[in-house]
A and B are shown apart, each in its own frame.
Chain A
Amino acid sequence: EVVLTQSPGTLSLSPGERATLSCRASQSVYGTYLAWFQQRPGQAPRLLIFGASNRATGIPDRFSGSGSGTDFSLTISRLEPEDFAVYYCQQYGTSPRTFGQGTKVEIK
């Protein structure tokens, strides 16, 4: 099983600032099949990034993903008020298709 560890647990930033979230895998992620989701309170998760660096349909270009192997990151270039939420990484290359524990981006 691929264990995903996200850091930091919480990121306290102001609107307009840059956010960098990390996701580290216990073994290489097959096919770079790594996704990022955003979850706002009371909502289902929303797909942001797939294949480590590809934005999903309708996702603003302030969101970008990078990485390969075991180290991945999600960057939000300039935080908008609606970006304060919880973010999860998930590997979907091998079963079980595991999630990281999440990073909360909160308003400072």
Chain B
Amino acid sequence: QVQLQESGPGLVKPSGTLSLTCAVSGGSISSNNWWTWVRQPPGMGLEWIGEVYPTGLINYNPSLKSRVTMSLDKSNNQFSLNLNSVTAADTAIYYCARGPLIHYWGQGTLVTVSS
């Protein structure tokens, strides 16, 4: 059973960089899957952020593409998300997941952007 666990700061200052890591257990991050980030602002719907494949292929949501970076860390079986120049609109629960069809989700981590 694949399990995913997000970690990172719960509070980020405006104009700063949001950095999250997703640790994967029960499966290899080098397997043929797209490792995915999804976010959900409080009380709102799901927004797909992007995905990274073990070969290095990456797809981003066009609305976030200028601010997002994703990467894989195969030695530690984890992947990461960086989102720069954050504002209050980036406050959300951030989920990591295994895609593109998402059978497995992390529990989610709330990141608040505030000074």
Contact = CB atoms under 8 A, between A and B. Distances in A.
A and B co-occur in one complex: yes
B46 A102 contact: yes
Contact of A44 (B36, B47, B108): B108
Describe A's contact surface by its main secondary structure: loop
Most buried by A among B38, B47, B101: B101
Contacts of A45: 46, 95, 102, 105
Number of chain B interface residues as a range: 20 to 34
B103 A56 contact: yes
A1 interface: yes
A84 interface: no
| Chain A interface size, under 10 / 10 to 19 / 20 to 34 / 35 or more | 20 to 34
Contact of A99 (B48, B62, B106, B107): B48
B42 to A, nearest CB: 12
B61 A44 contact: no
Interface of A: 1, 33, 35, 37, 39, 44-47, 50, 56, 88, 90, 92, 95-102
